[in-house]
Structure 1
Amino acid sequence: MPSTELIRIVSRSSPMALAQVERVRTELVALRPGIRTEVVPVTTSGDRWMGDLSKLGGKGAFTKEVDAALLAGEADLAVHCIKDVPADRPLPQGTVFAAFLKRDDIRDALVHPEGLGLDDLPAGTRIGTSSVRRVAQLAISHPHLECVPMRGNANRRLDKLEAGDADALLLAVSGLERIEQTHRISEILSVETMCPPIGAGVLGLQCREDDTATIDAVAGLGDTNTWREVTAERMFLHVLQGHCNSPIAGYAKAERDGRLSLRARVFTPDGKTVLDAHEWAGPLDPATLGTSVAVALLRQGARELIDTIPH
């Protein structure tokens, strides 16, 4: 970092990503009033490409350019949606997460122009989503609905809904909160109906590991319970080694009394096979809990299920 007075923050250039940066800037100024911040926006290959993410190497398509700017010294801090950061491989060498901000809502929301709930939608209703996780779970709970591929940031998808490209959308509650579009929500789905993705609702702050000045400056923004939850979830996904076409869902929950649990599920794309595991940490540390839940699913056949899915 050039000095402790200026932190250059690199982020994707979408409206939601920039809104996330504003949250970080606001919290950082409150924590360290003397610090100035500057935004370094980048457009990632994942933002430009509207096709199948697997053709770009999966979720890493949303982070490669951000990582490159950080490693090149063009920025000091990167703000990521943790759900978009691959967990099946390590962070780029030379970088670390300095903090995970307090977790936002992990649930998904239905957006329907007439305000209908999921159970009220007639057969054949077109749900805009390219998430294999959402497609698999809708196939279980609402097989009469039709999923139509739709990518792009949340603002773009809302525009596509208005243009008639779909009849309804499934979007993250936290994302709609960040772009101030919660008035569009028709129904917030329970985690039993729509189990969230790993890292849902969490913003992570990534730095170069040798940049101790920036790490020290932002570490105080971190939330201990969120760190425990994300550590368990990402270790689970790392051990499972799922790819971007694998319908994998799960969330950890830190209770007020300190207990930590992790529930996770693996699906076939059509939802006809579901593997489920739910464990409490007890004396286990978060990473060990994540490993234990992954092993439980591997014993149920998760490796074979994941390997049969093209990617």
Structure 2
Amino acid sequence: MDTTIKIGTRGSELALWQAHHVRDELRRHWGARLVVELVLIATEGDRILDRPLNQIGGKGLFVNAIEEQLVAGAVDLAVHSMKDLPGQLAPGLAVVCTPPREDPRDALVLGPGLRATLGKGVTLADLPPGAVLGTTSLRRTALARRQNPGLVVKSLRGNVPTRLRKLAAGEYDAILLAAAGLVRLGLGDEIDARLDPESFCPAACQGILALECRGDDANIRALVAPLGDADAWVMASAERAFLARLDGGCQVPMGCHASLQADDRLHLRGVVADPAGRPVFTATREGPRAEAAELGRGLAELLLQLGADEVLAAHRTRE
């Protein structure tokens, strides 16, 4: 196969790991004659580092610039953390492949002081009153405050290594990150606790990679098809449908987590939470994996009926 494809990616350590991983998997399947070039693209979320993400517009901050290059034909394929994608993609583009999912849970990482006194396996409730917790996620802020009202939540920006350096320097007592990002960067040993998704619902599609291309590009679809994972696709379909119905992105105070049960049925949990910690609306749905998207939309509808629309409306008013 004598062909060249260009992959658009952000320049952060995690984004580059993801792009390199996809490149290596493509070469492993198709051989060294497949030439893969990485094209680094700076996004708005990368450029603006002095404000929380929800204050600069949460939707598409890490994907819009890459999608523009896809539409223009400057790149052929984009590799995203799927949780960064807004509920609706840019016209003419499609997510055509989801590789196997990494751990979807949120990870608690303690600073040196708390790690020495608390050790591994702690919970958010174990953190002492006044402990400074770092995160920019409204969802994480809300759920953390719900589990431990005594926490002081402080904005935390930067890529994964930068956040860990700030923690080590004593700017925070603990931080919350995606377990998937730490594992992919070989930093899994930094994790002090992986939070139960039933009580600390992850962001929709956390741990899933999204391979996006122009919808009519049959060649790229065929090239990436061998990298796909059917289970990840089912979970992504449910969680993306939930996200789309609530018109949400990665910085809206909501979470959704799908898991496949032993009988091949899909269990789905969703949450919409006020950043202050209350009110919190949560619900679950179960059904056949073949009905993943319908389950996701139905779960979103149920939360709206319970009153979650008021939280979402108030959040959008503040944006």
Q: TM-score range by the shorter chain?
A: over 0.9
Output the amino acid matched with 1:308: A
Output the amino acid matched with 2:302: A
- Listed as ranges, the matches of 1:7-46 within 5 Å are 7-33=5-31, 34-46=33-45
Q: 1:113 & 1:237 partners in 2: Cα distance?
A: 33
SS of residue in 2 equivalent to 1:18:
helix
* Displacement after TM superposition at 1:61 (Å): 1.1
Residue 56 of structure 2 corresponds to 56
Q: 2:102 aligns with which of 96, 101, 104?
A: 104
Q: TM-score, normalised by structure 2?
A: 0.91
Structure 2 segments unaligned to the other structure (5+ residues): none
Indicate yes or no: 2:219 matched with 1:213: yes
| Cα distance change on mapping 1:150 and 1:264 into 2, 3 Å | same
Indicate yes or no: 2:135 matched with 1:129: yes
Q: TM-score, normalised by structure 1?
A: 0.93
| Cα distance change on mapping 1:147 and 1:181 into 2, 3 Å | same
> Would the aligned equivalents of 1:54 and 1:244 in 2 still touch at CA under 8 Å?
no
Residue 70 of structure 2 corresponds to 70
SS of residue in 1 equivalent to 2:9:
strand
> Would the aligned equivalents of 1:11 and 1:78 in 2 still touch at CA under 8 Å?
yes
Q: 1:45 & 1:162 partners in 2: Cα distance?
A: 27
Q: 1:249 aligns with which of 232, 252, 255?
A: 255
Residue 312 of structure 2 corresponds to 306
> Would the aligned equivalents of 1:267 and 1:273 in 2 still touch at CA under 8 Å?
yes
Q: 2:214 & 2:246 partners in 1: Cα distance?
A: 27
Q: 1:126 & 1:264 partners in 2: Cα distance?
A: 27
* Displacement after TM superposition at 1:280 (Å): 0.9
Q: 2:46 & 2:289 partners in 1: Cα distance?
A: 42
| Cα distance change on mapping 1:277 and 1:44 into 2, 3 Å | same
**Mean CA deviation greater in 193-202 or 46-55:** 46-55
Output the amino acid matched with 1:235: A
Q: 2:210 & 2:251 partners in 1: Cα distance?
A: 23
Residue 142 of structure 1 corresponds to 148
| Cα distance change on mapping 1:113 and 1:166 into 2, 3 Å | closer
Output the amino acid matched with 1:45: E
**Superposed CA offset, 1:28-61 (max 9, x none):** 1222114221111112110111213234321311
Aligned-pair identity in percent equals: 39
Q: 2:248 & 2:68 partners in 1: Cα distance?
A: 24
Residue 111 of structure 2 corresponds to 113
Output the amino acid matched with 2:54: S
> Would the aligned equivalents of 1:141 and 1:193 in 2 still touch at CA under 8 Å?
no
**Superposed CA offset, 1:41-84 (max 9, x none):** 11211011121323432131110111112112111110000000
Runs of 4+ in 1 over 4 A off after TM superposition: none
Q: 2:179 & 2:286 partners in 1: Cα distance?
A: 26
Q: 1:66 & 1:284 partners in 2: Cα distance?
A: 31
Residue 79 of structure 2 corresponds to 79
* Displacement after TM superposition at 1:212 (Å): 1.0
**Superposed CA offset, 1:120-139 (max 9, x none):** 42211111111111110111
